[in-house]
C-alpha cells in the first residue's frame, strides 16, 4: 500500500516524530511504499541539521536523513510553517536575506499543496502529532 505521513510536532518535546519514524520503518519492512513524510506545524523543526543532541541519545534528524537515503524517502518541510520557525534552505535564505540556512540533508522545503497531494495520492494518511 501507498502510505503518507504527517508529522506535526518537533523532535524531543513530543514523541510524535519518534513514533512516525518507527512506524515508517515498520511499514517499509512490510513492503509498503511511503509516498511522502510531510512535516508541518512545529514538525518542521525535525528538518534542521543544527541539532546536537547528547551522544547517548538518538539523533532524530539524522535518523530521518539516513532512512531517507536508504529508502529514497521524500521528506518535505512545509515552507509557510518553516519560515515562521526559521528553517531555511539555501534558496530561501538568499530570498529572505538571511545569512545562513539549516535544512538537513534528505529534507526539502515545499508548499502545503504537497500535503494535500499526499492525501490524494496515498491509500492511507497517518497523522503523528500532539
Applying CB under 8 A, the residues found at the interface with another protein are: 1, 3, 6, 8, 15-16, 19, 22-23, 25-27, 29-30, 32, 40-41, 79-81, 110-117, 119-121, 123-130
**At CA 76, angle to CA 9 and CA 111, rounded to 5?**
100
Nearer to another protein, 52 or 71 (CB): 71
Contact 17, 127 (CB under 8 A): no
Contact 9, 40 (CB under 8 A): no
Q: Which of 3, 5, 24, 78 is catalytic?
A: 78
Residue 75 backbone dihedrals phi, psi, to 5 degrees: -100, 115
How far is it, in rounded angstroms, from Cα 24 to Cα 30? Answer: 10
Nearer to another protein, 22 or 52 (CB): 22
To another protein, the closest distance from the beta carbon of 1 in angstroms equals 5
Catalytic-residue membership of 78:
yes
Q: Which residues are catalytic?
A: 78
Amino acid at each position: 500500500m501507498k502510505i503518507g505521513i504527517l508529522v506535526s510536532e518537533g523532535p524531543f518535546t513530543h514523541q510524535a516524530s519518534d513514533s512516525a519514524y518507527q512506524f515508517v520503518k515498520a511499514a517499509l519492512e512490510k513492503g509498503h511504499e511511503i509516498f511522502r513524510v510531510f512535516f508541518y506545524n512545529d514538525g518542521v523543526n525535525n528538518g534542521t541539521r543544527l541539532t546536537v543532541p547528547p551522544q547517548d541519545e538518538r539523533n532524530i534528524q539524522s535518523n530521518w536523513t539516513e532512512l531517507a537515503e536508504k529508502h529514497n524517502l521524500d521528506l518535505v518541510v512545509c515552507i509557510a510553517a518553516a519560515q515562521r520557525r526559521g528553517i531555511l534552505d539555501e534558496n530561501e535564505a538568499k530570498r529572505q536575506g538571511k545569512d545562513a540556512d539549516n535544512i538537513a540533508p534528505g529534507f526539502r522545503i515545499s508548499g502545503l499543496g504537497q500535503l494535500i497531494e499526499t492525501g490524494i495520492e496515498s491509500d492511507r494518511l497517518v497523522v503523528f502529532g500532539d
